[in-house]
Structure 1
Amino acid sequence: MSAPDTLGYQPGHPWYYLLGGDVLPPKSIRFEVRLEGYKGYRRDEILSAANKAEPQRSQSLRKIRDEVMRSLRLNISRYREVARELHAYRREHADQPLPTCSASVHTSMGLKFSHIYNDFGHLELLDSLPQQVDLFDLLL
């Protein structure tokens, strides 16, 4: 079986899923983020926090990382739910001609992909920052 022709649409676009595009696993999404060198929409905020003096630097970066990890967990959980909905939608509409507009499940898939993509971008940037010893970590 050959890969579907998504007409150049990428996984962040609803038409990618409407045209039969694959649901990418989170590991593949993170790999794409690394390949593109994407740093996420919070790039400036993260770099600003990284330029603070200690201990504000560590506290700010830890807070951002915690927020990103919480967001990523929620987004991956929802992504899996929507992927199941997409597979059910595809089964139900397998014998029908291609619709002229995307359904909400296609939009949801594109949005969740984009949210996960951004979360991984933030993590990649956070992971790329030079590590500084945090005296508060040594006390734990």
Structure 2
Amino acid sequence: MKNNSLFNQYEKLKAKYPDVIILIRITDFYHTFCKDAQIVSSLLKLELVNRTAESNTYGVTGFPASKLDKYLKTIVKSGNKVGICDQLHDPKHYPKDLYGRTIYPDAFNSYSPGHPWYYHLRGPIIMPQHIQPENIDNFLDVDVPKDLIKLERLQSKHRADLNKDIKRYLEVAESLDPDDINSCTSMSLKYNHIIYHLSYLKILSLKAGEQTTLFA
């Protein structure tokens, strides 16, 4: 199957086979969405991730291709019919990231860079200068020091911590092994640490009524 939009392909297949659970393989993982994802995650005790696209929220789950035979028996025994879609393209034609690793288009789009599966599915590494706070709502209640000196000290601390996390983020990125879930988890944690410090610094700047440079 061609790798356009993974979710769009799922929707087309589901419209054609509404009574069948659709499993789509990309790299070494099988994915399914929406109601199928709810059924599969419940039967197999897998994580169900909610994603939003074009104002629509849908569930997605997946499992390693190596477990297909085992999981397929469980799904079928529960009375469900299953349709399996395998990829037909040659990975050698895919683009490479900055570290020479293959990027599988659209496979990772169901996850954010803050999730280990994003890296497991060969999502491209985002350079620190391109990382932006995703949502600062959780920081709106931050107690901002009224004393300017204390405020500057707090900002300096977060900048220092941010720079440390950026350094570590780049180190983890260089040694990232997409097939090692622990390595992917470390990468997602470092990304989330950067998001945290950027968000905190942004809300401090907004509440202090001044513009600050997030990257030193």
Common fold: TM-score over 0.5: yes
Query: Paired residue for 2:202?
Result: 124
**CA RMSD of the aligned region, Å?**
2.2
Task: Give the distance between the partners of 1:84 and 1:10, measured in 2 at CA.
Answer: 19
Tell me how far 1:43 sits from its aligned partner. 4.3
Task: Give the distance between the partners of 1:82 and 1:28, measured in 2 at CA.
Answer: 17
Distance 1:49 1:103, change over 3 A: same
Alignment-mate amino acid for residue 67 of structure 1: K
Query: Paired residue for 2:182?
Result: 104
Structure 1 gap ranges (5+): 91-98, 132-140
Tell me how far 1:4 sits from its aligned partner. 4.2
Query: Paired residue for 1:69?
Result: 159
Tell me how far 1:42 sits from its aligned partner. 5.1
Correspondence 1:25 to 2:103? no
What does 1:1-140 correspond to in 2, within 5 Å? 1=94, 3-6=105-108, 8-30=110-132, 33=133, 36=134, 38-39=135-136, 43-45=140-142, 48-50=143-145, 52=146, 56=147, 58-86=148-176, 89-90=177-178, 102-128=180-206, 129-131=208-210
Task: Give the distance between the partners of 1:43 and 1:115, measured in 2 at CA.
Answer: 18
Answer yes or no: is the 8 Å Cα contact 1:6–1:16 preserved in 2: yes
Tell me how far 1:123 sits from its aligned partner. 1.8
1:50-75 Cα offsets, whole Å, 9 max, x none, are 5x3xxx2x122112101110110100
* Larger helix percent: 1
Answer yes or no: is the 8 Å Cα contact 2:144–2:151 preserved in 1: yes
- Percent identity (aligned): 31
Structure 2 gap ranges (5+): 1-93, 95-103, 211-216
SS of corresponding position for 2:112: coil
* Larger strand percent: 2
Tell me how far 1:109 sits from its aligned partner. 0.4
Alignment-mate amino acid for residue 121 of structure 1: S
Answer yes or no: is the 8 Å Cα contact 2:114–2:191 preserved in 1: yes
